[in-house]
Structure formats: structure tokens, C-alpha cells
Amino acid sequence: MFFETRSLTKAFGGLVAVSQFDISVNEGEIVGLIGPNGAGKSTFFNLVTGVFPPTSGQVVFEEKNITWMKPHQVAALGIGRTFQLNPLFGDFTVLKNVTASFHLHPRSSILDIYFNTRTHRRNEAYIGEESLKVLHLLGLEGVKHVLAKNLPHGYQKLLGVARALATRPRLLLLDEPLGGMNPEEIDFTLKALKKTREQGVTILIVEHNMQILDLCDRVVVISFGQKICEGTPKAVREDEQVIRAYFGGEHAP
């Protein structure tokens, strides 16, 4: 199995935020983890990426137990993520934000950088080219010279995805990529994420917006920290437990 969690549990005092949670992702899939606000979705991501230690259970990536690894160790294995609140460099351009993320995997030594060697100049040119490819993939090349703080909300969200892709992840964790977007921005983002999967990136998406179902191969639904449903987007839309969790008995759209 490419990625899975086994009975993953996190309790904060008497509050169990995630309870005995199992999920699996095959390489090349887009899997959605959806649920109402406060269901435990972001806590789950923080457990996977080492931000929070679990109370019990395991996180397994490519058959390796990574449960107790620190965030930088998880990232080094090839797991990238975005955040609900985008940690962008507001006074950097879009392009500079992405090149800064490429530098998390330095190709030049300190001496190369200090003396501005041919190796360093060649590596900087490579990073610039690769950054432009990422921006083109996500449709951001037209705003590459705009300061991040001046971007519309939807573009800021996509820039967060671009920065995560610059870390060269094999598994990309997207934390509410549609949050706060208008319908036009949502449509643009869904198209961009489809292109990302076509580049061979496996994606696990946390969302409460059910429009994300249109993007997913499989969907897992979480409510009050527990899995209540798993299946195809169509099956999830029609599941009575999901309808109750989201709409209190109303029919899903």
C-alpha cells in the first residue's frame, strides 16, 4: 500500500478528535477526505505530517512506519502539504515564493553559494525553469511577477499548492484547497488539480465543500473524528449517514 493509517487516534484531554481512523491511498489516486467543519479533518493531516503526535495508531508510507517522525522528516520522504491558512511570503512575487520552496532541497553547497560558482549559477537557472513549469501547470504564469499579498484569494490558495509541488512530493496533502473560493475560482482550481494528478502526483484532499467529489476517485467521510462512509463519489452523495452529517436529513446536491 502506498499510504495508509491504522487505527489512528488523537485525544486532547477528554476530547477525542480522531478515533480509530483507517484510510488508504493507492499510488496515482486522488482520494477525498470530507466532512463537516470540526469533523477532525485538519487534525488528521497534522497527525500524518508530524505536527501532532498520535495518542495511538500508525501512519505508514510506502510500507514504512512514519508515525513519530518530525514534519521535516516527513517532508523529506516525499509528503508535501498545504494549509488552510496559507503561509505565503507576502512581499515576495509569485515566482519567488515557488523558487524559495525549491531551495528546501538545495543543490548547491554553502561555498558554491558564497563564491557564486558556475555550479550555483547553473542550479539557480534550473530552479527558475522548474518553478516556471509549476506555475504553468497551475495556470499562474500570468501573475508570476505579482506580489503574493496582492493576489485574489483563489490564486493565493493555488500558490500554496505550487509551493507544495516545489518540494517535489510523491504524495500531496491538500488542506481545504477550495476554502473561501467563489464558483469561478473553484472551477479554475479543480482544473488545475486535475493537471497535477496527470503529472504523477498522488493526492489526498481534505475538504468540507462537496464539490471536491467531482475530482476524486474515492471518498472517505469523517464525522466527529470517525469514519462513517467510504466509496465512490456517487455512493457517498447518496449515503444517508453523509446526508445527515452534512444536511441534517436534507438531500445532498
Structure-block grid coordinates of residue 12: 486532547
> Residue 109's pLDDT is what?
53
- Tell me how crowded residue 215 is: count the other CB atoms within 10 A of its CB: 22
The amino acid at residue 240 is E
- From the list 60, 55, 57, 58, the residue with the least C-alpha distance to 16 is 55
The amino acid at residue 192 is A
C-alpha–C-alpha distance, residues 213 and 236, integer Å: 9
Determine contact, residues 193/204, Cβ cutoff 8 Å. no
> Residue 252's pLDDT is what?
43
> Residue 116's pLDDT is what?
65
The reply to whether the predicted model has a pTM over 0.75 is yes
Please compute, for residue 2, the number of CA atoms within 13 A of its CA located in the half-sphere on the CB side.
16
Query: Distances in Å between the alpha carbon of 142 and those of 95, 146, 223, 241?
Result: 10, 9, 40, 43
Taking 50 as the pLDDT cut, the residues of the chain under it are 108, 114-115, 250-253
C-alpha–C-alpha distance, residues 139 and 66, integer Å: 34
> Residue 192's pLDDT is what?
92
168 secondary structure, DSSP code: -
C-alpha–C-alpha distance, residues 242 and 90, integer Å: 38
- CATH class for the region spanning 3-247: alpha beta
> Residue 104's pLDDT is what?
55
> Residue 112's pLDDT is what?
53
Determine contact, residues 48/73, Cβ cutoff 8 Å. no
C-alpha–C-alpha distance, residues 75 and 105, integer Å: 10
b/e burial code for range 129-141 (CB count within 10 A of at least 16 → b)? ebbbebbebbbbe
Structure-block grid coordinates of residue 90: 507576502
C-alpha–C-alpha distance, residues 161 and 203, integer Å: 11
Domain spans in the chain, listed from the N-terminal domain onward:
3-247
